[in-house]
Chains A and B, each alone.
Chain A
Amino acid sequence: MSTFIIVMQLIINGNLRNFDHPIPTVYALVTLLSLEGRRLAIEKNGAIVPRSLFTETPLNSGDKLEIVGAVGGG
């Protein structure tokens, strides 16, 4: 039996997600979610994080993230 100790909580696209390890940066999150290389835009707590700043933008427990992409639409 393994115990899941919540180390970090993030609200990603409106859903609360618990992590048992720290996710230091936006880039680390993108990698964790297997989204690297995909064309997307990210907002952290309501402010856009430019792609060039993913690696240096820190994440803290409780941060709200929006991760969006382009989809078919009229």
Chain B
Amino acid sequence: MAPLVAVKQDFITLMNTLNIAGKAYNSRLLVGTGKYKDFAQTRAAIDASGAEIITVAIRRTNIGQNTGEPSLLDFLPPEKFTYLPNTAGCYSADDAIRTLRLARELLDGHKLVKLEVLGDPTTLYPNMIETLKAAEVLVKDGFDVMVYCSDDPIIAKQLEEIGCCAIMPLASLIGSGMGILNPWNLQIIIDNAKVPVLVDAGVGTASDAAIAMELGCDGVLMNTAIATARNPILMASAMKKAIEAGRDAYLAGRMPKKLYSASPSSPTNGLIA
């Protein structure tokens, strides 16, 4: 018989893995690989974050330039990290679908992808009509679709019904660092979802990530908050702790809020006066 301590540890591990499309991950922090000073800093920050899933963009290869130069893949071997190719920069369902089919070929049949279809270059707000169209095609085509979306609970549910494997509403606009602006919508999305819900976009600092996790989010995806911090590696470490702290607080169950309690933490008897 397994010692009780081991059983307890297994339970905690089970409770704490993030399960996406049939695979368990120990880290609930997903990170992007953009905006870093260089590949070495990218790798160092990702190591400090503990992230196992990392997003990458698909772009035209520079022809005839720097052919011998190292690539992102040299610093972040696909055998060590789970790549999450994204469709950042796509403004139509067709472009997003095309991009992810190329990504699948690029990554040897890799199925896990992040779908995002933008609607406006100034705000980078998602176009949910195009996102829904693309999600439908991609799911039918066999992709495991993690979908970036607005924080509309109805759209989120529709994306789940289409078959997306994770719903990823924004906390605030991409790259804004404005934090969790509508916790109540996120709460409704989380309460209604049977697939993982991850906050994607808008996190600015560690407390934002902790709040997302305390709400019951299954994970957080971020890039700018780490990459553009004065010290990205230290911020990556802060985010790792915030995700873990927020998750533990969610599992622990917070005390109810009340204006005052008249119930001090120290005994009321045995006072010397």
Contact = CB atoms under 8 A, between A and B. Distances in A.
B101 interface: yes
B59 A69 contact: yes
A48 B101 contact: yes
A58 B103 CA distance: 22
Contacts of B103: 41, 70
Contact of A69 (B61, B88, B175, B223): B61
Given A40-B106, A48-B105, A70 B67 contact: no
Contacts of B86: 73-74
B57 interface: yes
Contacts of A14: 60
Interface residues of B, number: 37
Nearest to A33: B63
A70 B32 contact: no
Interface of B: 32-36, 39, 42, 55-61, 63-64, 67, 71-73, 83, 85-86, 88, 98, 101-103, 105-107, 174-175, 222-224, 227
Interface residues of A, number: 24
Contacts of B224: 74
B35 to A, nearest CB: 7
Contact of B55 (A35, A51, A73): A73
B58 A70 contact: yes
A74 B55 contact: yes
Given A70-B106, A74-B32, 4 more contacts: A66-B60, A71-B56, A71-B58, A74-B224
B223 A70 contact: no
Contacts of A35: 61, 67
Contacts, number: 100
A74 B35 contact: yes
A72 B63 contact: no
A72 B102 contact: no
A53 to B, nearest CB: 11
Interface string A35-74: 1001111010000101100000000000000111111111
Given A40-B106, A41-B102, A41-B103, A72 B56 contact: yes
A68 B33 contact: no
A67 B106 CA distance: 10
Contacts of A67: 60-61, 63
B33 A73 contact: yes
A72 B42 contact: yes
Given A13-B60, A34-B67, A72-B56, A39 B105 contact: no
B113 to A, nearest CB: 12
Contacts of A43: 98, 102
Contact of A72 (B33, B98, B107): B33
B67 A74 contact: no
A28 interface: no
Residue among A12, A13, A35, A73 with most chain B CB within 10 A: A73
Contacts of B58: 41, 68-71
A14 B59 CA distance: 12
5 contacts: A39-B106, A48-B101, A66-B102, A69-B58, A74-B222
